[in-house]
Structure 1
């Protein structure tokens, strides 16, 4: 056990990661040494930042807490604290079931940990973070919460309504991150196109991204977690015209069958979805689209699923993820629908959908062979440098592998790469 060391363990999404980075900076300003996501925490204090989005994430969070509770009982750690989405929603239950935890915090009161440790928030570090990502890229959270109430989603129950961060505060953070060496920004929110609505009733996401793009040193901006309904068209113009805004959009569509879209309370129809994608590709030629789809939602018939398969074949998404529906406490679906699609049917549909997408991904990747592309070098791994094009976000998208023996490359720098081969997952190339 290392005295004065705090191990932070972040589970779930990148929005959670930003919270971990904020508290780490404050803890370090108060004299602690912090480690992040250690496989074997050795600090006297461990803080678990939990996820409560879907059943698998909740199970991972609970198992992690239980393992650390045992470590505390065995004297391998002195104190254990829990924060984040799971404890925001299930604090009372967790306190009863796992009392070995010294204190549970929610999604928004986690800085109370400083007071409980006999410390205070350091004003000079307000808004600053201990980056846990490679130093050349960072996640930028522009809002919390969500005003959408999709039938399957527990996020509004956990995080509350959409709250936009002040624009000048965000831009100040970008400037600070640039001064720290960050070149690439993954802009994140539960629903980023809603940015500004709660401030003055208007969407200001296009203005925010445009002003970010004008900051010297910002090389790439990539947009995550948009919603198709009332999508702001001026944002597409920013993506199209600002050279450092990546032609990339992460927009979860969930399904295509009108039957399921209505049951999901998505407020967007099949025909509107087809038109929307056509307009995206027409307005921003060459745009990379990432989406997430769901199978096995209550009431999904074989015909509904076949519509979804045909949609994926038509859309040919450059990036696509999918998951099987799981019932979440308190959601509209849990309260009003029976979870009537058997688990084996959910799994077979998921497998088939991803097999269709894998073939599409392999075909699209093959078309990149022979092209010369700009690549951000993320790391060296074995005999390869590993990087990404503007069409790939960190951790979730395909990468570019470059033989390390050919040329010495700088980590966190851009280089030109000629693509020489591909598979369904990655591209291969040589630096030129």
Structure 2
């Protein structure tokens, strides 16, 4: 797999985030440059492309006057030999819904979306300057899952931002329990100089409270991840073999991004080729990983 950056910088000004200070405003790469880069990578044997940016969903607005990530996805999807195209780092506010139609219609676009929601209490979303409220967050997730029913959503959440009350944290826990994200990462706020939060808010949530909230949130997700994994037992998935370790081949499905998501362990009973695709049946699951057997070559 290879990572391909389609833009640099960010036009969103979330209160806690230093990225716009470091990278500057959003600058999209011309579409033909990206298509050419992906063609060269695929010609060199790359099977999976991870599209990355500080904010994928803003792609094209500066160059073409409109959000046109969907058009870019179509052009990349047409490249002969590209097996999987995966989207990382999209933003909930002004999310371009047209990309979901492309995702649904194109076989080589992974049913996977990485979208950081950060929080789900109106008070916190306002403090964080996220330009979206709790109700809109719930509605967006519902709409995404309606368009692509088997999509796996990865999100990132933050605890302990200045002003976060117990009530805010309860709203965040409810969000995690109701939405049941397939993948979730979380972290606690740390103040950065130059950001709105760093310059205008007192870092008023005690460190031990931040840590306790983070642990509680991750424990909730731990149970959800385990239940979601158990539901996969008996199902057959297309997998790519990434590497081998001692007794197992390590694989992933379209629902798993390398380095951050669960892996699939396959016994070395048959000789498999690294970088090749196979059909595998899930035989067993634990909280974060799956075990499978090969059913057939792809």
TM class, shorter-chain normalised?
over 0.9
Q: 1:412 aligns with which of 275, 289, 297?
A: 275
Normalising by structure 2, report the TM-score: 0.98
Distance (Å, rounded) in 2 between the aligned partners of 1:301 and 1:206: 39
1-side partners of 2:235 and 2:64: how far apart? 45
Alignment of 1:92-131 (within 5 A): none
Map residues 194-233 of structure 1 onto 2, 5 A cutoff: 194-233=58-97
Task: Tell me, yes or no, if structure 1 residue 265 matches structure 2 residue 118.
Answer: no
Question: Which structure 2 residues correspond to residues 30-109 of structure 1 after superposition, within 5 A?
Answer: none
Are 1:378 and 2:239 an aligned pair? no
Q: Structure 1 residue 200: deviation in Å?
A: 2.6
Question: Which residue is equivalent to 1:307?
Answer: 171
Larger radius of gyration: 1
Q: Structure 2 regions of 5+ residues with no counterpart?
A: none
For residues 9-53 of structure 1, what are the alpha-carbon distances to aligned partners after superposition, in whole Å with 9 as ceiling and x for unaligned?
xxxxxxxxxxxxxxxxxxxxxxxxxxxxxxxxxxxxxxxxxxxxx
3-state SS of paired residue (1:199): helix
Does 1 or 2 have the higher relative contact order (CA < 8 Å, sep 6+)?
A: 2
Shift of residue 201 of structure 1?
Answer: 1.7
Corresponding residue for residue 425 of structure 1: 288
The counterpart of 1:329, out of the listed 193, 202, 224, is: 193
CA RMSD of aligned residues (A): 0.5
Q: C-alpha displacement at 1:341, in angstroms?
A: 0.2
Q: CA deviation at 1:421?
A: 0.2
What is the rounded CA distance, in whole Å, between the counterparts of 1:186 and 1:328 in structure 2? 29
Shift of 1:356: 0.1
Question: Residue in 1 aligned with 2:227?
Answer: 363
- Separation in structure 1 between the aligned mates of residue 60 and residue 138 of structure 2, nearest angstrom: 27
Aligned length in residues: 295
d(CA) in 2 for partners of 1:172, 1:144: 18
What does residue 36 of structure 2 align with? 172
Match of 1:276 in 2: 140
Q: Secondary structure at the match of 2:42?
A: helix
Deviation of the 1:244 alpha carbon: 0.3
TM-score (norm 1): 0.68
Distance of 2:230 and 2:103 partners within structure 1: 25
Q: Secondary structure at the match of 2:72?
A: helix
Which runs of 5 or more residues in structure 1 are unaligned? 1-136
Partner of 1:81: none
